[in-house]
Amino acid sequence: MGSEPLTGVVDEPSKMDTQLRDTVKEPYVSSSRVSTTTEEAGEKQQDLSTNVVSPPPEEPQEGDALDDHLTGFKLFALLFSTSLIFFVLLLDTSIISTAVPKITSEFHSLPDVGWYAGAYQLSSAVLQPLTGKLYTYFPTKWLFLVFFFVFEIGSLLCALATSSPFFIAGRAVAGLGVSGLQNGALAIVSGAVPLHKRAFYLGLLIGAGQLGLVIGPLIGGLFTQYVTWRWCFYINLPIGAIAGGLMVLIRCPEQLVKTPFSAALVRRVIPQLDIIGFVFFAPAATLLLLALQFGSGETYAWNSSTIIGLFVGAGVSFVLFFLWEWRAGDQAIMPFSMMKNRIVWTSTLQYVALISAIFVGTQYFPIYFQAVKGVGPVLSGVYLLPSILSQILFVLVSGSLLAKVGYYLPFAVFASVGATVGAGLISTWDINTTTGMWIGYQILYGIRGAGIQLGVIAIQNALPAKQSQLGLSFLVFCQTFAAAIFVVVANTIFTQSLINETRILVPSIDPTEVLRAGGSAEAIRSLVPAGSPELAALLEVFSNAFDSVCYLMITLAGISVFASFGMGWIDTRKTKPAAKTEATAEV
């Protein structure tokens, strides 16, 4: 087709590689012997473009270090900067939870609370499928830093926001940056270490992100109560300057040999990005989220022409999107051939359901503690520690046991069942719940930590090495999009329950006043006289609305239980033959 191939190889040779070397005698280019000059690289690419597929080079056996891998201080510096960025992006996901009541009270925007997380998650999900292909063709480090710069701009906009729409716009910009950070971090670390060490270092990276996710509410509470909620976003700037500045100075090895950046390369890459699929998907996702968001308040009824029109538009767009994806085949942003793999879709479903349940809980636990229990932002963050510490403990224990046992399916089932039971018990919280009950139930809910990383491991073991990154890209995309949708669904459930319960239990108060009060203890208690029967009834309204959200958490955790059984009975201690394949990308 007149295009130039971009080739790279994974760490291990396959049987097919050996057969090709025995039967085909054409010259080839080894990734470890690629010329460092532009002229020589161009000559080699011209030679390759005139031949049939060239046989892969002789590769070292598993465990042998490739020349391009990092060691010592260089590896430490790369891991430190990448993990710090991973920490910041997941910190940004959860730090807002304990600040939401103050933000909604300041902007008088409780119905917008779903957008605070939804805009961030949706903008990330819409663009994320394209980022996997971008990383295939363009320099990983510099593309990663571009995405990180966009994320930092979004953080600054949030910190400077003067209204709810301004704040939502900042969250959307930050989400665009995040869309390429998770994939990029995984690709950078994978390229820096040999295959047999990759699981350990990726575990450190994911662990740093989980740390940011679980301590975010506590840090957010401290900033909100003692400084200002705006520092939940200002904090990203100095941390980002350190991590980003360090990464600029570090060499990041590539997993694939890539053509030097040029305008011609951009022209050749664009047709490979499935832009048409993206054009169908973006409005479909946006229309669906708008329908859920508008229907959650009192502006539009669920049976109004506006809401029905949005749902119909989303449905038609999704149909067109999937028809196009089927036609696009393996060039699609969501290839059907990969999604038909049972382990891929069940592992994705298990991961998405469990993570979505965690995101929903992280968003609404502080509202319960502040609105119902009457504590401040900091104390509501402290009250999350039982589930946070429990989750960390189960992550560490399950990771150690998995390295010895090898089979991940029992841990996935255990984590999902524990999360389901824990969410069910949490749904019984009310205005009279004792300290021992909300601590104990959260500890049980923290069992989820035993399974939150297993979807990644299952997909890496189920796919050949050259499809592994695409599988992880699909997993991250589904997780991001689902989290955006379910946070908005939770907001719809919470808001509608709040409106209905207020009309039943406190008919003397206009439901719109309750929505405008936000979720902070002070604003809610200012609506009625202290110690009055109306106050007790109003607290029961918020407690019942929170319980309704818990039913969504139970459903999601229950879905992860059933999905876990399809993840495959695979021993991760054994080297999978599928890993020994050639990874080739062409434009």
**pLDDT value, residue 67:** 47
- C-beta of residue 467 within 8 angstroms of C-beta of residue 338: yes
What is residue 560's predicted lDDT score, i.e. its pLDDT?
Answer: 94
pLDDT at 57 > cutoff 60: no
Dihedral over Cα of 461, 464, 466, 470: its sign = negative
Is the model's pLDDT at 238 over the cut of 90? yes
Q: How confident is residue 297, by pLDDT bands cut at 50, 70 and 90?
A: low
b vs e for 448-480, b when ≥16 Cβ sit within 10 Å of the residue's Cβ? bbbbbbbbbbbbbbbbbbbbbbbbbbbbbbbbb
The pLDDT of residue 51 is above 70: no
Mean pLDDT across the stretch 337-357? 87
Domains of the chain from N-terminus onward: 64-274 (1.20.1250.20), 277-330 (no CATH), 339-573 (1.20.1250.20)
User: What's the mean pLDDT in 211-218?
Assistant: 78
Nearest to 159 by CA among 147, 145, 173, 139: 173
CA-to-CA separations, 496 to 192, 362, 548, in angstroms, rounded: 49, 20, 10
List phi, psi (to 5°) of 520: -75, 150
Task: Judge residue 233's burial from the number of C-beta atoms within 10 Å of its C-beta, 0-12 exposed, 13-18 middle, 19 or more buried.
Answer: buried
- The model's pLDDT over 65-113, given as tens digits with 9 standing for 90+, comes to 344 777 778 888 888 998 899 899 888 887 887 788 788 888 877 777 7
The predicted model gives 332-357 an average pLDDT of 85
pLDDT at 34 over 70: no
Residue with more model confidence, 157 or 586: 157
Per-residue tokens: 468: 């592994």
CA distance 232 to 90: 12
Per-residue pLDDT, averaged over 300-315, amounts to: 86
Tokens 């020589």 belong to which residue?
A: 40
Q: Provide the 8-state DSSP code for 584.
A: E
pLDDT band at 19 (very low <50, low <70, confident <90, very high): very low
Alpha helix positions (H), 406-505: 409-426, 435-445, 454-462, 465-505
The tokens describing 549, both together, are 């959200």
Which residue has 């394949």 as its token pair?
Answer: 581
> Minimum mean pLDDT among 384-388, 538-542, 575-579: which range?
575-579
Distance (Å, whole) CA 416 – CA 512 = 37
pLDDT at 577 over 50: no
Decide if 550 contacts 423 (C-beta within 8 A). yes
What pLDDT, on a 0 to 100 scale, did the predictor assign at position 36?
39
Q: State the first-to-last Cα distance of the chain, in angstroms, to the nearest integer.
A: 9
More confident residue, 243 or 217: 243
* Token representation of residue 497: 């329950």
According to DSSP, the residues that pair with 571 across neighbouring strands are 407
Average of per-residue pLDDT across 144-153: 93
CB 168 within 8 A of CB 116: yes
Provide the pLDDT confidence category of residue 7 given band limits of 50, 70 and 90: very low
pLDDT surpassing 70 at residue 298: no
Q: Provide the mean pLDDT of the chain.
A: 77
Q: What is the pTM of this model?
A: 0.73
Kindly state the percentage of the chain with pLDDT values over 70: 80
d(CA 574, CA 33): 30
Average confidence (pLDDT) over 537-544? 90
